[in-house]
Structure 1
Amino acid sequence: MTPNTNPPTGRTAHSAVGVALIDGVPLVREGLSALVHRTPGLRWVGAAESPSVGLRLCERLRPDVVLVDSGLDPRGQLSHLLAANRDLGVVLMVDEARRTTQYVAGAVTGGVRGVVLRTAQPPQLVKAIQSVCQPDGRYVDAALTVNLTAPVAGPLRPNGARQPLSQREHQVLQLIADGLENQAIANVLFVSVETVRTHVKSILRKLASRDRTHAVAVAFRSGVLTLDGAAHRSRPGVN
């Protein structure tokens, strides 16, 4: 374990975000440490080379965000344990071996707030860290976008058929999965925030979800959202 020598302190609204890493590769640990040190608003807490050491690091130093290598968490147990702490934002770095719908859906359902590729570029890592430390914040790597061209299932109608999402609802759900808030979605789709809110309410109803994060988790688990390296995005402006 390579912790920061500074004692842990509770984060206020204006203090730096404490970042930790659980990864078995020294070069990755050193690289993320350097990235955090040179990024304003971030504070390096420390790194661990194994799950057991990582758990102890998080318990003792209380980071705000912890990044976890999926290679050290093949069954998702470590990230689920960490995500049980509601004050800790967990970002899972997914390698190619675990770039599957089942693995990512399990992570999201288990409380992981951020999912990025292990090969993500520094700006993406910084954005993921900054996103998941916000209240109800989450981040999905653009490289793990979902295919919205497949039929989307909704609640069963009385005749047994499923109520599908509209194409616009597809787009909104995609952007929610990308980590965008309502105003940002409105800007992308050139619609009002109130229109976005209406679409979100419809998505939650059709997917029988309690909130936005739950909707994405349900969509992954049910196959509504599937990982596809060549995923096609619906074009904004199409109703």
Structure 2
Amino acid sequence: MQPNTNQPTRQANGAVGVALIDHIPLVREGLSALVHRTPGLRWVGAAENPAVGVRLCERMRPDIVVIDAALDPRGQLSHLLAGNPALGVILLVDEGRRTAEYVASAVTGGVRGVVLRSVQPPLLVKAIQAVHSEGRYLDAAMTAAMAAPVLGPRRPNGPRQPLSRREHQVLQLIADGLENQAIANVLFVSVETIRTHVKSILRKLASRDRTHAVAVAFRSGVLTLDGAVPCARGGNDVGVR
């Protein structure tokens, strides 16, 4: 652990206190340097494992703690620390955990920010500031593969109806097995908003229910198994009776 030797007040000179739990020394040194050179941020300290990280947060009381998701594969550490409403938890997620299920579990458990481990330094600073000031931040790269607009299948005797960017996100999360509340948590919207999107998806895909909508989406190419966004196709779209 590398704690700041200053008195552990919540905000020294109004600066946002930042701590890190990460097993790689270079990452710890890098975030320390980034925080030290960023006005409005204050370096609290770093820990190389969860046990030391918990003690660091208890003693130094940072405003934000950034956690390497590799040290928290089941979300136990982040959920424990998120139990403190005064502490904003941000996860650094590697490609192996860049899944809707992991993000949903993290956000449902109280994590306020999720960013890719490969994030550029300015965006990590943005995430820290956003979580502190707005209470949440989700790296756009986490859902980029799901966010592009796509076209639904051609309805009988009618034009194809495009799914909006958000509707495609919701549809992908449904396909990943998430319920409405979990989807709302991931996208930081209300469950009523998700219900509205689901109704629109069912109408545009001429589907009976969520399961049917996912089946239609895969059959027509709106969704693909690898999560890639399909290109709009010509007249070969699958119609639904």
Taking structure 1 as the reference length, the TM-score comes to 0.65
Task: Note if contact 1:65-1:133 (Cα within 8 Å) is conserved in structure 2.
Answer: yes
| Match of residue 154 from structure 1 | none
Coordinate RMSD, CA, aligned: 3.7
Report the number of matched residues: 181
**Matching of residues 18-167 of structure 1 within 5 Å:** 18-135=17-134, 137-145=135-143, 147-148=146-147, 149=149, 167=164
Task: Note if contact 1:16-1:42 (Cα within 8 Å) is conserved in structure 2.
Answer: yes
Percent identity of the aligned residues? 63
Give, in whole Å, the separation in 2 of the partners of 1:22 and 1:177: 24
Runs of 5+ consecutive residues of structure 1 not aligned to the other structure = 152-165, 181-198, 209-222, 233-239
Give, in whole Å, the separation in 2 of the partners of 1:168 and 1:229: 14
Task: Note if contact 2:103-2:186 (Cα within 8 Å) is conserved in structure 1.
Answer: no
- CA, structure 1 residues 30+105, in 2 after alignment: closer, same or farther (shift >3 Å)? same
- CA, structure 1 residues 168+26, in 2 after alignment: closer, same or farther (shift >3 Å)? closer
Indicate the SS of the match to 2:14: coil
Shift of 1:230: 5.0
Report the AA paired with residue 143 of structure 1. Answer: A
| Match of residue 2 from structure 2 | 2
Give, in whole Å, the separation in 1 of the partners of 2:87 and 2:133: 10
Q: Which protein has the larger Cα radius of gyration, Structure 1 or Structure 2? A: 2
Runs of 5+ consecutive residues of structure 2 not aligned to the other structure = 152-162, 171-183, 199-213, 215-225, 231-241
Taking structure 2 as the reference length, the TM-score comes to 0.64
Give, in whole Å, the separation in 2 of the partners of 1:74 and 1:19: 22
Shift of 1:104: 1.1
Q: Deviations over 1:126-158 (max 9, x none)?
A: 0000011124x211112112524589xxxxxxx
Give, in whole Å, the separation in 2 of the partners of 1:96 and 1:25: 17
Q: Deviations over 1:82-110 (max 9, x none)?
A: 11111111000001221112111110111
Give, in whole Å, the separation in 2 of the partners of 1:61 and 1:40: 20
- CA, structure 1 residues 230+40, in 2 after alignment: closer, same or farther (shift >3 Å)? farther
Report the AA paired with residue 164 of structure 2. Answer: Q
Indicate the SS of the match to 2:133: coil
